[in-house]
């Protein structure tokens, strides 16, 4: 009964936001007051939450998940309601820096093609940087973690160079690489490389010696010990490094796209900021947040499939 009651809260939250948006007129000095996109969004949201509430009546699984998020969804629309009041309705905040929600929603219709191009550009740049950084990090991590000689000579260099933030390499990257794209890929790959290297090395070194002693007794070679025992046993640690590397690569991506790239979400946000077009800046930031959230969520889904015994150790 309590869970059914909680499914009503999202409907109340959307209805309240819709009522405020319709009943209270926009401030007379508000620019672009006729934009209806936020109201369209609220109507669609109302249809969705009503549909989910009906589904929750008949499906126990939907009811459990939806009722758990009921208060949160209601809180999100309460927050949007407050924003609508302080920006469009009462104009409490300066509209140059704090535009109405309708203006931010309008950006997704006006700049739809440009935002999609920027999203594609950022995605390709991020994938290139992560792949290169991951491959180099795995090679370095396995080498340093497995070989005592490599650990002696290379590990001190990794400990000195690795903690340097990627963005501080920007001047050198712009000189070494012929294009801004190449420099951006380097900055992303550098941050990924360090995280993967450290945690791969740490994971391999923490594998119990008894495993190798048993496998060697059974006739396993050195390479078999490495690739059939050490690397699989270190996979949880490698994934943790990959998660940290992905998060840091988002920071490197935004910084890299601001140093001379002509496309990408970081470039878009920086460009709109210089034009003092803050509705576009907020719209770009929302796309960045959703983009990062989806990528990390996919990463955890893959982790839960490949490392099922690790499910729930690091929650997302």
- Which of 61, 63, 50 has the alpha carbon at shortest distance from 10? 50
pLDDT given at position 314 = 57
Q: Which residue has the tokens 């949201």?
A: 45
DSSP assigned state of 92: -
Tokens representing residue 215 in the block: 């496998």
Euclidean distance between the first and final Cα of the chain, in Å? 29
182 has pLDDT over 80: yes
Task: Please check whether residue 237 is in contact with residue 206, taking contact to mean a CB–CB distance below 8 angstroms.
Answer: yes
78 has pLDDT over 60: yes
Task: Please check whether residue 68 is in contact with residue 4, taking contact to mean a CB–CB distance below 8 angstroms.
Answer: no
Task: Please check whether residue 155 is in contact with residue 214, taking contact to mean a CB–CB distance below 8 angstroms.
Answer: no
316 has pLDDT over 60: no
Cβ neighbours of residue 137 closer than 8 Å, sequence gap 6 or more: 192, 193, 194, 195, 196, 197, 200, 241, 245
What pTM was estimated for this model as a whole?
Answer: 0.81
- Which of 265, 245, 247 has the alpha carbon at shortest distance from 256? 265
196 has pLDDT over 60: yes
| pLDDT tens profile 256-296 | 777 667 788 888 998 898 888 999 999 999 998 998 889 88
CA 180, distance to chain mean position in Å, is 23
pLDDT given at position 2 = 62
CB-neighbour burial class of residue 26 (10 A; exposed 0-12, middle 13-18, buried 19+): buried
């Amino acid at each position: 009964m309590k869970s059914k009651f909680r499914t009503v809260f999202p409907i109340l939250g959307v209805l309240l936001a819709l009522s405020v948006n319709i009943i209270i007129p926009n401030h007379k000095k508000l620019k672009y007051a006729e934009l209806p996109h936020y109201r369209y969004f609220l109507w669609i949201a109302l249809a969705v939450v009503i549909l989910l509430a009906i589904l929750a009546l008949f499906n126990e699984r939907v009811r459990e998940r939806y009722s758990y998020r009921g208060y949160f969804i209601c809180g999100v629309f309460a927050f949007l309601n407050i924003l609508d009041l302080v920006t469009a309705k009462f104009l409490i905040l300066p509209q140059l820096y704090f535009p109405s929600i309708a203006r931010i929603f309008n950006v997704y219709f006006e700049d739809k093609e440009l935002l999609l191009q920027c999203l594609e550009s950022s995605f390709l740049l991020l994938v290139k940087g992560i792949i290169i950084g991951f491959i180099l990090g795995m090679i370095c991590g396995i080498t340093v973690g497995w070989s005592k000689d490599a650990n002696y000579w290379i590990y001190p260099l990794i400990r000195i160079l690795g903690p340097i933030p990627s963005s501080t390499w920007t001047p050198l990257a712009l000189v070494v690489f012929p294009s801004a794209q190449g420099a951006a890929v380097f900055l992303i790959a550098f941050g990924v490389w360090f995280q993967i290297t450290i945690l791969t090395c740490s994971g391999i070194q923490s594998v119990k010696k008894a495993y190798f002693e048993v496998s060697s007794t059974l006739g396993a070679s050195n390479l078999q010990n490495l690739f059939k025992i050490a690397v699989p046993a270190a996979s949880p640690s490698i994934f943790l490094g990959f998660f940290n590397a992905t998060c840091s690569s988002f920071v490197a991506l935004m910084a890299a796209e601001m140093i001379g790239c002509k496309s990408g979400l970081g470039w878009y946000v920086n460009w709109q900021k210089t034009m003092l077009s803050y509705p576009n800046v907020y719209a770009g930031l929302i796309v960045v947040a959703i983009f990062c959230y989806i990528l990390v969520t996919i990463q955890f889904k893959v982790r839960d499939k490949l490392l099922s015994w690790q499910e729930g150790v690091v929650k997302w």
